[in-house]
Chains A and B, each alone.
Chain A
Amino acid sequence: MAHPAVTLAAIAMLAAATASQAQQQELPVNSVADGVFVYNGQTAQMTRENDGAIANVGFIVGRDAVAVIDTGGSLRVGRQLLAAIRARTNKPIRYVINTHGHPDHVFGNGAFVQDGMIFVGHANLPRALAARGQFYLDAFRRTMGDQLIDEIRIVPPTLLVSGTLNLDLGGRMLVLRAWPAAHSDCDLTVFDEKSGTLFAGDLVFLAHTPVLDGSIRGWLAVIGELGALPAERVVPGHGPVSEWPAALADERRYLETLATDVRGLVARGAPIAAAGTAASAERSRWELFDDYNTRNATAAFSEIEWE
């Protein structure tokens, strides 16, 4: 029989290992095409309870290297994404691509910081992170708590995209495209030519009420161009992986309704405080509608009144 002290030490080690394993547990990812893996985020606000894992994130494995697309809403989620990658491939991670600057997509970047890692983003992403990064850390401390927020570092991109950029993972070309202001002013899409998979970031929402933080007119114009991309499926920023371009229909209808209703309010001389009545016909079709619709309408009003 083992000495009690040895037993105690063994229990302590086991407890430590379990705790560390809990930290390193894998994000549950699905393979949506050969070599393309996606974690489907919860449709929710970022909280302590969900670790901020509300956005879709994923990775693409080529012959030589791996590219990560968005890193989740906390360092913990980023580490879990890293664990999910390491459970599937030993190939080096060469690129971490951020589809834009919102916290649910970039807070996990720190998990991937190491020599030689290339962080990729829209040419406007550094400006957006500079203007908003510290504000986001302060604001989300309230809902996510010190433990999750303390370890987060804002990691800006080192490789900037204006127009388009091709990244070769070895027999696998990713086509990155930077868009004019739409969902935000730093939206970047990633198209995997090999599988026909488009990672659209928050240019595409399904189920989750679209969130306007750029330009409603710009977004509607970008949707028109996006629809022409020869993709088979889309990984939206929020919502299920879906067929392309049918996946655009709900979002287009919402944004068109919002723009039309807001134009009516502006024409009638309504004050911006009344903007939240716009797009009320859409309420039953979306989740988190009351969290985002008034905000979207307010932003749209301040843009459309300059038409």
Chain B
Amino acid sequence: MGIARALPYIARVASIRVKVVTMSGYLFRLFSVACFLLFGAPLAPAAEANDPWPGLVQDIFNNRPMNDGSEVIGIEMPARAEDAAIVPVTLRTKLSPGDGRQVLSITLVIDQNPAPMAAKFQLGPDAKVSEISTRVRVNNYTDVHAVTELSDGKLYMIKTYVKASGGCSAPAAKNADEAKGRLGQMRYRQFAKAGEGPASGIREAQIMIGHPNNSGLQMDQVTHLYVPAFFVNELRLWQDDSLVLTMEGGISISEDPNIRFTYVSNGAKRFRAEAKDTEGHVFQREWKMDDSGT
């Protein structure tokens, strides 16, 4: 989406939100801190009063109609974010084996976060990915939406609600030096899938990427400029040369992005991952399928 489209939206919701278009045209809103500084009034109450979802449907999904997704996809999150920086989320496809439609993509939206578009997963055409788990930051009490595009060309939406964490938990780095030190490390792990023998071909695996995934919302105390956002914006996973999964990610994905997923093996001997970040780093690694260590 372009700036031209963003302007009417700002007027429509009548709240002051700075919009920045980055990441293949996806939209970031840097509101809370910036507006506090500009106008001296925190926006948390305004954010609660306005439901951002209609605006997000326009910005992220081009106002396409949303169908009920309760038969298509499930979303699991804890009712309360325990650690604001690491909230587990699991997306699970629910199409019956006889359903002719395929899941093309799943988009995860955390409505009240500074960058609501947390991730868009595109599923490889032959990998039959049935479950994806990751970890996100949750800044506030918020609806979380999962929107699935099926091969019938329609969008299917479900949502859940997460309460913000209490205490001194924050959606920021706990150990900022350690996070930098791990930059670019990648690990692959394969799990035994309960109840499924190896013959079924169903595999559960995990990719971990060491990266601070900085939000860019912190201000440098000396210069009073915002520290630039620095995060993994693209991840691609293959078995041999067949695409399993891609993720376009944003700053709502937790530090050290971690994707755990269930798919069907094509008998491949290698698993391959490539991640890119906003500073242009490319991290690549491949593992033999039996290598589930580092």
Residues of chain A having any CB pair with chain B under 8 Å: 45, 102-104, 124, 126-132, 134-139, 141-143, 156, 181, 184-185, 211, 213-215, 218, 269, 271-273, 276, 291-292, 294-295, 298-299, 302-303, 305-306
Contacts and interface: CB of A to CB of B under 8 A. Distances in A.
A280 to B, nearest CB: 15
Contact of B221 (A124, A126, A272): A126
A130 B220 CA distance: 7
Given A271-B133, A295-B169, A298-B82, A218 B175 contact: yes
Interface of B: 32-33, 36, 42, 44, 76, 78, 82-83, 85-86, 88, 90, 133, 135, 139-140, 164-178, 182, 185, 187, 189, 191-192, 208, 210, 218-221, 254-256, 258, 260
Contact residues of A: prevailing secondary structure: helix
B238 to A, nearest CB: 22
A271 B88 contact: yes
B187 to A, nearest CB: 8
A272 B254 CA distance: 13
Contact of A272 (B86, B171, B191): B86
Contact of B135 (A141, A213, A302): A302
A103 B208 contact: no
Given A272-B135, A273-B88, A306-B256, A130 B218 contact: yes
A141 B168 contact: no
Most buried by B among A128, A137, A218, A295: A295
22 contacts: A103-B168, A104-B168, A127-B176, A128-B172, A131-B170, A134-B33, A136-B168, A139-B170, A141-B42, A141-B44, A181-B174, A181-B177, A181-B178, A213-B174, A271-B90, A272-B86, A273-B78, A273-B88, A295-B165, A302-B255, A305-B208, A306-B185
B20 to A, nearest CB: 18
Contacts of B135: 272, 302
Contacts of B167: 45, 211, 291-292, 295
A135 B139 contact: yes
A91 to B, nearest CB: 31
Nearest to A295: B82
Contacts of A295: 82-83, 165, 167, 169
Given A298-B83, A306-B256, 8 more contacts: A135-B170, A135-B172, A141-B44, A214-B174, A271-B133, A276-B82, A292-B167, A299-B174
A102 to B, nearest CB: 4
Most buried by A among B177, B210, B218: B218
Nearest to B80: A294
Contacts of B133: 271, 273
B46 to A, nearest CB: 11
B42 A299 contact: no
B161 to A, nearest CB: 15
B86 A185 contact: no
Given A273-B78, A273-B90, A143 B176 contact: no
Contacts of A269: 189, 191-192
Nearest to B179: A185
Contacts of B189: 269
Contacts of A132: 170, 172
B166 A299 contact: no
B170 A138 contact: no
9 residue pairs, one from A and one from B, having the closest CB atoms: A295-B82, A102-B168, A273-B88, A131-B172, A181-B175, A269-B191, A132-B170, A131-B218, A294-B82
B166 A130 contact: no
A130 B221 contact: yes
Most buried by B among A136, A291, A298: A298
Contacts of B256: 302, 306
A211 B84 CA distance: 13
Nearest to A302: B86
Given A138-B42, A138-B44, A213-B174, A143 B166 contact: yes
